[in-house]
């Protein structure tokens, strides 16, 4: 074979030897003869032979397996879809039932909580009213006390005379005291030393009140009108008698507290105070007033303590008799609510009663009137 023809291996690799151009001939080559022209092959024939010897191309696009039909796959999954739909419907139904049950339970719990809140609010309102009742009574009492004190102060200022002060007149000699008054020499001529001491204490309460003093000592402001009542009871009545009631029970308690404070200064713990009133409410007023004016506590109240409270005159007289037998000195205080005084109480040496104005006497009432 001619060396210029490509072999099979070169044909497969697509490598062909370079052929000299056919249409270009060297200028020095002489023209070929007709015989040589017939003997040499044509370029088109050579290209056809090369293409015939190339291998067949591989068919890459031909499918190796048949594809399933779309309609057949849809027919296979339709029952499964129907089952899923049925299961979802049942699940939604059960979930809705659970939600409805939970909603009903929550509504019931909310109603219970609302009823409980209303009940608690009612109880708090009732408890607040009950707890604040005592505070309201005290505030009202203090208000009345301030109003009356200012009125008395204005009256005293109008009657005040700008003149040099004169020493107090000597204490008048009271009539002879009844039997059983030997402990307190209020009606004897030897009372001069005790009288000076009483005047000094009253002046101290007026001029230099000690609001933080010891217990059983007066801790409130003492006006001239109160001092006048105390002096009347000591020097004019001899420690046994009734004073005209003032505008409020709190002021009566203030006068009684001053008398108790003076007697405690003389007799200390030997003095025992017995209070008579016709209702627990008024006895409660006396207890709170004495605590406020004398600085005592609840522990000082009781049958065997410094102050005892009574609603019955017979019980008070029996207790006073027992105290005298035990060498104590009873001081009996009678509230202005008592319309009559038991004769059994007149046998004791110290008695202080408050008599209301005849035209101001009111019928008894069961209310919680703190001041009359």
Q: pLDDT grade, residue 175 (50/70/90)?
A: very low
How much is the mean pLDDT over the chain?
74
* pLDDT at residue 11, as a whole number: 45
Average pLDDT for 170-179: 47
Q: What is the pLDDT of residue 328?
A: 92
- Cα-flanking dihedrals φ and ψ of residue 192, to 5°? -60, -45
Residue 363 has pLDDT above 60, yes or no: no
Q: What is the pLDDT of residue 161?
A: 60
Mean pLDDT of 356-361: 63
Chain centre to alpha carbon of residue 52? 111
Q: What is the pLDDT of residue 303?
A: 83
Q: What is the mean pLDDT of residues 196-209?
A: 88
Which carries the bigger pLDDT value, residue 146 or residue 113? 113
User: Directed axis angle between helix 70-159 and helix 249-267, to 10°?
Assistant: 70
What was the pLDDT predicted at 148?
79
Residue 49 in this model has a pLDDT that exceeds 60: yes
The yes-or-no verdict on residue 286 having pLDDT over 80 is: yes
Identify which has the larger pLDDT, 64 or 194.
Answer: 194
| Pairing relationship of beta strands 350-355 and 329-334 according to DSSP bridges | parallel
DSSP character at residue 347? G
* DSSP class of 276: E
280 vs 188, more confident: 280
295 neighbors 289 (Cβ within 8 angstroms): no
Quick one: pLDDT at residue 28?
Answer: 46
**pLDDT of amino acid 170:** 57
Q: Which tokens sit at 77?
A: 């999954």
Confidence of residue 102 (pLDDT cuts 50, 70, 90): very high
Instruction: Give the whole-angstrom CA distance, residue 96 versus residue 87.
Output: 14
Average pLDDT over residues 298-305: 87
Whether residue 223 has pLDDT greater than 70: yes
pLDDT band per the 50, 70, 90 thresholds, residue 182: very low
Report which of residues 109 and 38 the model is more confident about.
Answer: 109
Lowest mean pLDDT among 84-88, 183-187, 333-337: 183-187
Report residue 111 as tokens: 């109603």
């Amino acid at each position: 074979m001619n060396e210029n023809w490509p072999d099979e291996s070169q044909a497969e690799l697509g490598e062909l030897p370079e052929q000299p151009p056919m249409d270009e001939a060297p200028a020095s080559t002489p023209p070929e003869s007709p015989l040589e022209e017939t003997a040499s092959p044509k370029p088109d024939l050579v290209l056809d032979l090369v293409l015939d010897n190339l291998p067949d191309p591989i068919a890459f696009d031909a499918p190796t397996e048949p594809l399933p039909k779309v309609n057949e796959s849809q027919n296979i999954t339709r029952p499964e879809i129907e089952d899923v739909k049925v299961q979802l419907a049942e699940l939604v139904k059960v979930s809705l039932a659970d939600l409805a049950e939970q909603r009903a339970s929550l509504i019931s719990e909310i109603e219970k909580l609302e009823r409980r809140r209303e009940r608690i609010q009612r109880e708090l309102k009732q408890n607040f009213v009950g707890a604040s009742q005592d505070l309201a009574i005290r505030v009202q009492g203090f208000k009345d006390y301030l109003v009356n004190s200012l009125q008395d102060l204005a009256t005293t200022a109008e009657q005040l005379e700008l003149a040099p002060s004169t020493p107090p007149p000597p204490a008048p000699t009271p009539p002879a005291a009844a039997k059983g008054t030997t402990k307190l020499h209020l009606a004897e001529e030897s009372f001069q030393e005790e009288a000076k001491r009483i005047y000094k204490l009253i002046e101290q309460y007026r001029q230099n009140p000690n609001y933080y003093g010891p217990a059983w000592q007066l801790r409130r402001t003492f006006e001239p009108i109160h001092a006048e009542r105390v002096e009347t009871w000591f020097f004019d009545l001899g420690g046994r008698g009734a004073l005209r009631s003032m505008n409020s029970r709190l002021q009566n308690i203030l006068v009684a507290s001053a008398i108790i404070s003076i007697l405690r200064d003389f007799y200390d713990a030997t003095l025992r105070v017995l209070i008579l009133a016709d209702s627990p409410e008024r006895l409660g007023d006396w207890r709170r007033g004495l605590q406020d004016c004398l600085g005592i506590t609840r522990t000082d109240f009781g049958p065997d303590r410094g102050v005892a409270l009574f609603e019955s005159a017979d019980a008070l007289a029996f207790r006073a008799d027992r105290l005298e037998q035990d060498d104590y000195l009873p001081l009996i205080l009678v509230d202005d609510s008592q319309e009559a005084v038991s004769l059994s109480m007149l046998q004791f040496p110290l008695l202080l009663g408050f008599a209301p104005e005849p035209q101001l006497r009111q019928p008894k009432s069961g209310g919680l009137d703190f001041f009359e």
